[in-house]
Amino acid sequence: MEVTRGGAASDADLVRTIADAAPVCDSQAEAELYRRLAPRVRLYGLRHLRDIQAAADLTQQVLLMTIEKLRAGALREPEKLASFVLGTCRLVVLDLRRGALRREALLRRYGAAAESEAPAPPDTLERQKLARCLEGLAERERSVLIASFFADKSAAEVGRTLGFSAENARVIRHRALLRLRDCMGVAKEAP
Amino acid sequence: MTESCAAPIPFAALVEYWCGELDAAAEARIEEHFLGCASCSAALQSLAALSSGVRAAFREGALHAAISAPFLEEMKRQGLRLREYRVAPGESVHCTIAASDDAVISRLQAPLVGIGRLDLVSMNERGELRYRLEDIPFDPEAGEVIFCPATAALKQHPVRIYRFRLLAVGADGERTLGDYTFIHTPS
């Protein structure tokens, strides 16, 4: 299958292509689907596991299982790929949490690939720019962001310990993130 | 360039999702959407990058911040190497920071109940203004302000005296809650 950059083939098109090619492997379609899904699954993993390596492990597991199922034609409605991937993510997270999948074994098996999937740290210039943008925030805004993201605290928890309501903490956090996004020049890339 | 989305997830909802504040049904709706949407997953990626950038900047000592006692415990739980200095109003303390330290924590004791706005003023040894942090967050019941200066810059400083002043600011003006002196010596 010819896969053009810019999304000419939808995710569902790729699912059909992979299923139709079986038992032959359409490596180009699989690679394109992997390229699209890997960052999304990694975000799911970061959100639920709060660990870059664990998120990379999850990504590898979920995508291997997904592509295996697609080759077998197990996804009868290709438009429901996202729902299928979400279900697989949940299963793998449960397994990871139960310890059924041993981290050491995953690292041995997927270590190199997982490492390559880890998000690249921002370069020095971006870090310096981010630090400058953070310094430009109001004191409450900076404190709320640090408490939210360094300590992974909800608005209710942040508010309780810093002396204001959960709603106030949520408003301060939202305003701070918008200002930070603007300062970093990423505002137009997000909805 | 990512494809556009006809019904993008609002930024506020992405933030609440990322911070784990949604109920299970709302969380599932967002996950099913972004797992199938290049545009919204890119927006979530931007948010994730900001959150990890904030975490890294604080961990590396690039930021100053007023923090809470539970947050200080979280820093210890995460294995950061800290030096803490608890100072009462009018007192001074000898302090330092080693290359291996992750942060220095100043615990400025002060009566805070009933205070609306609190400013922290930093001065040099001659009493000249270095900076003024306005409206810093605090827990009125805590009886202290916990301040974490930007450690990376502090590590570069020679022998130096820092003076801090806590000011309660109200409609009728401002009053000093306490003056605190830090006599800094490089490690």
pLDDT at A4: 43
Residue A121 has pLDDT above 50, yes or no: no
pLDDT per position as a tens digit, B98-137: 999 999 999 999 999 999 999 999 999 888 999 999 999 9
Instruction: Spell out the residues 6+ positions from residue A130 whose beta carbon is closer than 8 angstroms to its own.
Output: A122, A180, A184, B50, B53, B54, B57
pLDDT at A102: 58
The residue among A187 and B147 whose pLDDT is bigger is B147
C-beta atoms of B137 and A122 within 8 A: no
Q: For A137, which DSSP code? A: S
Domain with CATH 2.60.40 in chain B: 61-184
Three-state DSSP state, A142: helix
CATH (residue range B61-184): 2.60.40
- What is the token pair recorded at B48? 């994730």
For an interface test with A, the pick among B68, B73, B77 (most A C-beta atoms closer than 10 Å) comes out as B68
pLDDT per position as a tens digit, A53-100: 899 999 999 999 999 999 999 999 999 999 999 999 999 999 888 774
User: How far, in Å, are A51, B31, B61 from residue B28 at the CA level?
Assistant: 20, 5, 36
Name the residue facing A135 among B38, B63, B140 (closest C-beta): B63
C-alpha span between B11 and B5 (Å, rounded): 13
Q: Which of residues 94 through 113 in chain A touch B, CB cutoff 8 A?
A: none
Question: A150-157, long-range: CB within 8 Å, 24+ apart, which pairs?
Answer: A150/B54, A150/B55, A150/B58, A150/B59, A150/B71, A150/B74, A150/B75, A151/B71, A151/B74, A152/A50, A152/B20, A153/B71, A154/B19, A154/B20, A154/B21, A155/B19, A155/B21, A156/B21, A157/B70
For range A174-191, the mean pLDDT: 80
pLDDT per position as a tens digit, A148-167: 999 889 999 999 988 889 99
Nearest CA in chain A to B145: A162
CB of A191 within 8 Å of any CB in chain B? yes
Residue B69 has pLDDT above 60, yes or no: yes
- The band of B157, judged by pLDDT with boundaries at 50, 70 and 90, is confident
**Domain range summary for chain A, segments of one domain joined by +:** 11-117, 124-189
C-beta atoms of B35 and A82 within 8 A: yes
Q: Could you tell me how far CA A163 lies from the centroid of its own chain?
A: 32
CB A33 within 8 A of CB A22: no
C-beta atoms of B35 and A41 within 8 A: yes
C-beta atoms of A142 and B17 within 8 A: no
C-alpha span between B155 and B98 (Å, rounded): 7
Provide, as residue numbers in chain B, all residues whose Cβ is less than 8 Å from the Cβ of A139.
65-66, 133-137
Alpha carbon of A189: minimum distance to chain B alpha carbons (Å) = 7
C-beta atoms of B57 and A131 within 8 A: yes
Average pLDDT score, chain B: 93
pLDDT at A101: 52
- The band of A186, judged by pLDDT with boundaries at 50, 70 and 90, is confident
For range B72-77, the mean pLDDT: 93
Instruction: Spell out the residues 6+ positions from residue B148 whose beta carbon is closer than 8 angstroms to its own.
Output: B64, B65, B66, B67, B103, B104, B105, B106
Indicate the pTM of the whole model. 0.85
Closest by CA to B124, choosing from B155, B86, B146, B157, is B157
Residue B159 has pLDDT above 70, yes or no: yes
Average pLDDT score, chain A: 84
H or E element: which one contains A73?
none
C-alpha span between A188 and B70 (Å, rounded): 36
Name the residue facing B140 among A47, A144, A163 (closest C-beta): A163
Name the residue facing A11 among B17, B36, B65 (closest C-beta): B36
| Fold held by A124-189 | Arc Repressor Mutant, subunit A (1.10.10)
